[in-house]
Every structure is written in C-alpha cells, then in structure tokens.
Amino acid sequence: MKSISKIYGIVLSIVLVGCELDEEPIGLITRDQISTEPTESSVTSSVNSSYQLLSNTLNIIGNWDWTGGKVLRNDFILQDIASGDMNKKWNPDGDQAWMDEVAAFNFTAINGAFNGIWSYDYEGISRANTAISILSNPDITTTTALDTETKDRLLGEAYFLRAFYYFDLLNHFGGVPLLTEPLEDFSAAYEVSNRATEQEVFALIESDLETAVGLLPTQKYSSNAEPWRVSIGAAKAMQAKVDLFQENWEMSLIHIEELQSWNFYSLNTHYFDSFNVEKEFMEDEVIFAYDHRQELNPGRGNGLAALMGWGFIAPTEDFENAFESEDPRLDYTIETETQTAHKLLGSTDGQYKGNADSPGNKIYIRYADVLLWKAEALIETGQVEAGIEIIDQIRMRAQNTPSLDGSTSDLEMYSGTGLSQEQALEVLYKERRLELGFESHRFNDLKRWGIADEVLTEMGKNFQNHNYLYPIPQGEIDRSGGQIEQNPGY
C-alpha cells in the first residue's frame, strides 16, 4: 500500500499517512489485528492512537520533516505566529523560513505549515474512523471482554475526536473532503476526494458531538483512572464552541448553561494552576488537554519545549504592549527577561526548556475560555452588562494572582461603566487575547470576528481577504488529479 500511496490522491493524507505509520504498529498492535482479532486491549489501543495527533510529541508522522510541516503540530504557527502574537524566534534568523512566510502572509500552497496540519488532522480522522467502525459492531461486547459502558465511552471519545479534527480543518481550509469510514480501495478514496461544503462539514461535526454527548458518562472525568480522556464536559463545550463560531448565540448559551449545571468546572484561584505540571488533573479549570508524559516508550513528551531550547517561541512587541503594566498574565505566558514561555512549559523556573520529553500538557479547552464564549454570546444578544460581569470575573482572578515577583496588581474592571454593545465587544476581544495568549486561539478569533484584515494590516502584515482561509496543500490537489479544488486566491 505504501508504494501505491505515492501515486494516488486522497489515499493521500487520509489513508496514506496511516499506511506509512502502520509499518509501526498502533501501540503494540497493527491495524489488521484490530479488525480481524479484536480484543479489549486492541480496541482500546485503536481509540488511544486517535488522540496521538493532538500531541506536541516530535516526529509522530515524520522523521524531522521540517519542510513538510510534520515535526510536530503546527497550531502555534497557524494561530499564534499568524495572528501577530508570537515571533518564530527571539533572535530572527533564516531557520525554518517557511514559518516566517506564514507570519508575513507571504506564502504559497506548498508551505509546510498547511501540509502539516492537514496530515495531522486527517491521520487523526483516519484512526478515529477505524475505532468507530470496530466499536459500532453490535457484536463487539460478545467477541471481546468490553462491557457496554466501556464500549459506549470509547465510542463517544472517538466521535468527539473525529469532530475535533474536522472542526480544525474547517477553520483552516473551509469545506474539506469528508471521510467517515475506513477506506478499503482506491474507488472509495476517489468518491470522497471532492470537497464537501462548509455546511456539510458543520453538520457532521454537530452530529458527531451530539452522539458523543449521548455516549459519555455524566461525570467530570469519563475515566477516573485515566482523566486525560475525552469527557462529556469536553463534548458539551465543543458543542458550545461550534455554535459560537456559527453565531448561533442562543444555542451556544444553552450548551454552556447545561455544562455549568453539572458543576464540574470553575476558575482556579491562581491563573497558572491550569498550566502547572504539578497540578495536572488535580485542578478545576482544564476541560480537555493532551496528556504529555515523560520517560515512556514510545515517547509521549511535549516536544515544543525542545523548540524553545533552540530559541523558538517569542512574543511580539504588539502582544506585550496589549497587557496592562501590572497584569501578571504576561509573565506567566512569556517572560522576556529569561526568554521563557512558562505557560507552554508548565513551570515557572524554565526547567523543561530544551527537553523534548517534557511533561507539560497541551491545553485545548479550559473553563476561562468557555466563560468568555458565554460573555461574547451574552453581549451579542444584547445582555451587555451580564457579559461584562463575566469578563470581570476573569480579570479579578488575574488581579488576585500574585505576579512572579510576588507583587500584586490592580486591574481595571468594567462592570457598571455603561459600555455600549460595540465597546463591550472590544473589551471582550482584548480580554480573550490576554487570557488565552499563546494557547492557539487568536487567529481563529480574528477571522470569525471579521477583523483579521484590519488588525493584521495595521500590524504591517501582508494580509489579504483570501487569507481568511489557508490554501489547500498543493500536494493534495496534485495527487488527487485536481479533484480537490484550491481555495480562491492561491
């Protein structure tokens, strides 16, 4: 299959990456074993492997393939660097120039950033489809030792992960080919090589998330023994996010209020607790994160820390200037004096900097993010003061967090100031940047608010209207024989 994969289209990233990877077994098993000899262990491993493409572990789908964008997930490039919050390095140089091209919006469809995220997301989808196919077999509980409760939980996890990967693709590229089951041959591959519409992709995401919510247990951790697994809270939060991105404000609020009714999450007292490796899965705010671990074989460490040891990950002046002088969140995010991204390393002493096997988790959803979604939806529906009160909760937590040097801060609060809806939205836009800095949300935010052109042009970037979507990787179009259409402007 590997030789054929060099010839044909969407057998491409969807099947191909999987085929190449499967020379190395998934966990301790091969894909054929999962299909023909399913056991509780092999089925669980098939689900576990679907998480792997969310990690920052180095070389999951490539062997130091920098130009192909496959050394690690490119979220920090496509979101933080592109948005003008992050510079590639503290000291500018020619290393990995393709990252600079993304920063300047001076790229083409062959840039590795787009190939990388396409490959990661479709490999994740391929693995999730395999797990869904196996777990949907009505005989699975009789042919394995899986009980119904565990089967449902694992199936719910797989549906969530497929939705998560498709949502990421949708935000980067718009409509993309939909693959909902394992591909068996080339004819099946060609049938799905045409791009679905954005509406069709949204419909699949919504269906998968609804299915996941119905299958996952109503508890904070779906597995207390493995708290890193997808939970019903993560699935419900994603439902709220998907509706928010479609400006379905009322439905987003309904999902958030249901999530809040479970009382699983709250703001941590200290801002940094969500990121502290010593408090992983022992705090109250993180809803979904990839669980990086040290000293495992195969490796499961956070390789982004290694890049920081090579001088990567620095703030832009514009990002630093966005913070009030006393806001402790800036130093917890990125400390200029020591050139250390504490938030991404999981410690405030830089001990993991340069360590490719570091244990800091990669956080995808935390409760502060959800609260800011709620504030946004409230403001958009005319409930301005209620939205501002939530923003002030976030700011008060920041104010009550001691700075790294132990000093306290006095941040401005907005409640009762009589802000208009337009002014409240400006406050919301800024607060999301401060609270969630370097967490790979910013570029999506600028795009969905429709202000990316204004903000990035003002920063001196060559942003054009067609850049609201990234280009489909040219290699994918070529290998599909032109069946996959390129986004306009590329």
Residue 11 has pLDDT above 80, yes or no: no
Give the span between the Cα atoms of 173 and 170, in whole angstroms: 5
Please indicate whether residue 333 or residue 187 has the higher confidence score (pLDDT).
Answer: 333
Q: Of the candidates 448, 372, 447, which has an alpha carbon nearest to the alpha carbon of residue 456?
A: 447
Residue 193 has pLDDT above 90, yes or no: no
pLDDT for the residue numbered 7: 27
Give the span between the Cα atoms of 344 and 333, in whole angstroms: 7
pLDDT for the residue numbered 36: 64
Residue given tokens 């830089």 in the structure block: 350
Segment 453-470 mean pLDDT: 98
pLDDT for the residue numbered 145: 87
Residue 318 has pLDDT above 90, yes or no: yes
How many residues comprise the chain? Answer: 490
* Domains assigned to the chain: 1-216+452-490 (1.25.40.390), 227-449 (1.25.40.390)
Segment 302-306 mean pLDDT: 97
Q: Of the candidates 174, 164, 245, which has an alpha carbon nearest to the alpha carbon of residue 205?
A: 164
**Contact call for residues 277 and 361 (beta carbons, < 8 A):** yes
pLDDT for the residue numbered 38: 84
Alpha helices (runs of H) in 282-360, residue ranges in sequence order? 304-309, 317-321, 329-333, 342-345
Among 50-59, 146-155, 185-194, 401-410, which is the least confidently predicted range? Answer: 185-194
CA distances for 354 relative to 1, 351, 358, 403, 408, angstroms: 37, 9, 9, 24, 31
Q: Which residues have C-beta within 8 Å of that of residue 277, sequence separation ≥ 6?
A: 346, 347, 352, 359, 360, 361
pLDDT for the residue numbered 24: 40
Segment 154-161 mean pLDDT: 98
140-149 long-range contacts, Cβ below 8 Å, gap at least 24?
A: 140/38, 140/43, 143/38, 144/38, 144/39, 144/40, 144/43, 145/39, 145/40, 146/40, 146/43, 149/217
Among 16-20, 197-201, 323-327, 412-416, which is the least confidently predicted range? Answer: 16-20
Q: Which residues have C-beta within 8 Å of that of residue 436, sequence separation ≥ 6?
A: 368, 369, 372, 442
Structure-token pair, residue 200? 């069709």
pLDDT in tens, 424-451: 999 999 999 999 999 999 999 999 999 9
**Contact call for residues 128 and 162 (beta carbons, < 8 A):** yes
pLDDT for the residue numbered 32: 55
- Mean per-residue pLDDT of the chain: 92
Q: How confident is the model at residue 17 (pLDDT cuts 50, 70, 90)?
A: very low
Give the span between the Cα atoms of 277 and 298, in whole angstroms: 20
Q: Which residues have C-beta within 8 Å of that of residue 355, sequence separation ≥ 6?
A: 301, 305, 306, 309
Q: How confident is the model at residue 270 (pLDDT cuts 50, 70, 90)?
A: very high
pLDDT in tens, 384-400: 999 999 999 999 999 99
pLDDT in tens, 333-373: 999 999 999 999 999 999 999 999 999 999 999 999 999 99
pLDDT in tens, 20-77: 333 343 333 445 545 567 899 999 999 999 999 999 999 999 899 999 999 999 999 9
What is the DSSP annotation of 14-58? IIIHHHHHTTS-BTTB-HHHHHHS--HHHHHHHHHHHHGGGS--T
Alpha helices (runs of H) in 136-262, residue ranges in sequence order? 140-143, 148-173, 186-191, 198-215, 232-245, 249-261
Residue 10 has pLDDT above 60, yes or no: no
Segment 310-325 mean pLDDT: 97
Q: Of the candidates 74, 93, 90, which has an alpha carbon nearest to the alpha carbon of residue 335?
A: 90
pLDDT for the residue numbered 438: 98
